[in-house]
Amino acid sequence: MSVGIIGTGHYVPEKVVTNFDLEKIVDTSDEWIRTRTGIEERRIAEDTMDTSDMAYLASVNALEDAGVKAEDIDLIIVATVTPDTAFPSVSCMIQDKLGAKGAAAMDLSAACSGYMYGMVTAKQFIETGVYKNILVVGVEKLSKITDWSDRNTCVLFGDGAGAVVLGEVTEGKGILSFELGADGSGGKYLFQDEDYLSMNGREVFKFAVRQMPESSVNVVEKAGFKKEDVDYLIPHQANIRIMEAARERLGIAEHKMATSVKKYGNTSSASIAIALSEDVKNGKIKDDDLVVLVGFGGGLTWGALALRWGR
């Protein structure tokens, strides 16, 4: 059985915070942020909007796109490191709000790779015939664990949510291969310290420029294709320089890579899901395209998959 994405959706908060806005609160510059990261602005959620609210809005969008009713969802997986509360989980909160009465629900924590872990987990349940329709959401309200006085981190992150519905697709389409990995010895490079996110940027950078290109190539080869066959690449939207490393390794043209990092910054678990939803809706991803999704993040963790787009 082939398992693939049958609907996509996303939600980003309305409030835009530009690099120039950040110049007013920390010692930084638009020029530094642009050249080091590629980020121009990010979205920040209001106090009244929590993680589950964004997850809900992205999910409604994805269910509509898939043409699947909430009551036909069998499982909800929410990838997040910024849940409203430790429990109940965000997945239970949106199960109730959506009216997905028949769905089991769980949150999954793999930092920025969470969405990749969620997709791969969902695929197993469908492939084995246990479940038919699964909602996978990547969502973060990173602004609530951001130290707004630390220029090393506060310029990088943003809030948002992306969602997909996974189900059975035509033979040959859908998820063709995947890779997941973790290296707990690198946990010290990116973690939540008391209230705030703390990061050794240089170490995470080194890990990411090695891992993202490697995992991208691995999943393409596992799927039985060559680098030249790849039509579109969605790397975790953390830093344009890291993303470029993956693109160059695959040897694909600039316009074949998602670059929503410019507008949204790094939204952790949500970043690949938002970029996918946007680029499907704006026609950059077309039926039958060979698409590679690849992420990395705290843990350290990583994950990639190759898929043939379409139902």
Rounded to a whole number of angstroms, the minimum distance from the CB of residue 137 to ligand UT7 is: 18
CA distance 150 to 254: 32
The maximal CA–CA distance of the chain, rounded, in angstroms, is 54
8 versus 271: smaller Cβ distance to ligand UT7: 271
94 versus 111: smaller Cβ distance to ligand UT7: 111
85 versus 192: smaller Cβ distance to ligand UT7: 192
Q: Extract the tokens encoding 1.
A: 């059985």
Determine contact, residues 238/112, Cβ cutoff 8 Å. yes
Spell 197-208 as b/e; 16+ CB within 10 A means b. Answer: bbbeeeebbebb
Between CA 270 and CA 239, with CA 9 as vertex, the angle to 5 degrees is 30
32 versus 225: smaller Cβ distance to ligand UT7: 32
Rounded to a whole number of angstroms, the minimum distance from the CB of residue 204 to ligand UT7 is: 4
CA distance 229 to 66: 27
Q: What residues line the site for ligand UT7 (CB under 6 A)?
A: 28, 32-33, 36-37, 112, 151-152, 155, 199, 201-202, 204-205, 208, 238-239, 266, 268, 297
Q: Extract the tokens encoding 24.
A: 């007013």
Catalytic site residue 239? no
Burial of 141 (0-12, 13-18, 19+ CB in 10 A): buried
Rounded to a whole number of angstroms, the minimum distance from the CB of residue 235 to ligand UT7 is: 11
Spell 278-307 as b/e; 16+ CB within 10 A means b. Answer: bbbeeebbeeebbbbbbbbbbbbbbbbbbb
Catalytic site residue 266? yes
Of the candidates 112, 133, 154, 239, the residue annotated as catalytic is 112
138 versus 167: smaller Cβ distance to ligand UT7: 138
CA distance 92 to 106: 7
59 versus 113: smaller Cβ distance to ligand UT7: 113
42 versus 308: smaller Cβ distance to ligand UT7: 42
Rounded to a whole number of angstroms, the minimum distance from the CB of residue 309 to ligand UT7 is: 25
Of the candidates 10, 92, 236, 239, the residue annotated as catalytic is 236
Rounded to a whole number of angstroms, the minimum distance from the CB of residue 22 to ligand UT7 is: 8
Determine contact, residues 293/246, Cβ cutoff 8 Å. no
Query: For 140, what's the count of Cα atoms within 13 Å in the CB-facing half-sphere?
Result: 31
Rounded to a whole number of angstroms, the minimum distance from the CB of residue 147 to ligand UT7 is: 12
Catalytic site residue 10? no
Can you tell me whether residue 295 is helix, strand or coil? strand
Rounded to a whole number of angstroms, the minimum distance from the CB of residue 111 to ligand UT7 is: 7
- Which position's Cβ is nearest ligand UT7? 201
H or E stretch covering 115: helix 114-127
Q: Extract the tokens encoding 301.
A: 């963790």
Residues noted as catalytic: 112, 236, 266
